[in-house]
Amino acid sequence: MLKILLVEDDKTIVANLTEYLNGAGYIVRSVSGQAAAMAVLAEEKADLVLLDVSLAEGNGFSACRAIKSEFDLPVIFLTASGDEYSTVTGFDLGADDYIPKPFRPRELLSRIKNVLRLTGSTGKTVKLGDVVVDTEKGTAVKNNRDLFLSALEYRLLLFFINNRGIVLTRERLLDAIWDVAGEYVNDNTLTVYIKRLREKIEDDSTDPKIILTVRGTGYKVDA
């Protein structure tokens, strides 16, 4: 799966963006400053960097210059400053896109996909048991058969994939898929969608081997 490095020192933005991008099928690693970003990139591969212009530690423009110079990764600036100077400076330093705060999550997601496409970073497939998910095309296939997941089922499946091996409470699952595609989600609705997803991805939904129930807690995926 594609990995995004989020360089942002606002903890609320980090939490919200991480949750949203995880649900969209991306792995997110976050740091709060330039030095930490360079250290992470030296150790881990990333496919794209979301970079705040105004950092408590370091400077977004200098961070962009360093990232482009050492790692040649696509960079999207996040900024509360919409003035022409900041925009032009960012592009002059090699930024691939620029989005002002407050931004709409779906617009940011579209810009991320567009930058990845233009820079040649294509989506990868990931397997969950014998289910193959293509995060670029937004499809899930089992035994060469398209599963035709709804938007909410697909988001739920991606959230399980991104949290493989972790016990997820019902509350956390509700937070992750809340109001996606304009659908109201409550506890009963979650039960229905878990059931539907199991019917599509399990060999036997009455004896699930992929989405496991952890009694009294929630669910876990180990496949």
Domains of the chain: 3-118 (3.40.50.2300), 151-221 (1.10.10.10)
Residue 60 CB contacts under 8 Å (≥ 6 apart), including other chains: 7, 51, 52, 53, 54, 77, 79, 90
Give tens-digit pLDDT for 120-132.
665 567 888 889 9
Give tens-digit pLDDT for 37-56.
999 999 998 999 999 988 87
Give tens-digit pLDDT for 106-161.
889 888 988 887 776 655 678 888 899 887 678 899 988 999 998 889 888 988 88
Give DSSP secondary structure letters for 170-196: HHHHHHHHTTGGG----HHHHHHHHHH
**Rounded CA separation 201/207 (Å):** 12
Q: Under a CB-based contact definition with an 8 Å cutoff, are residues 176 and 23 in contact? A: yes
Mean pLDDT computed over every residue of the chain: 87
Give residue 103's region: left, alpha or beta (phi > 0; psi -120 to 50): beta
Q: Which pTM does this prediction carry?
A: 0.61
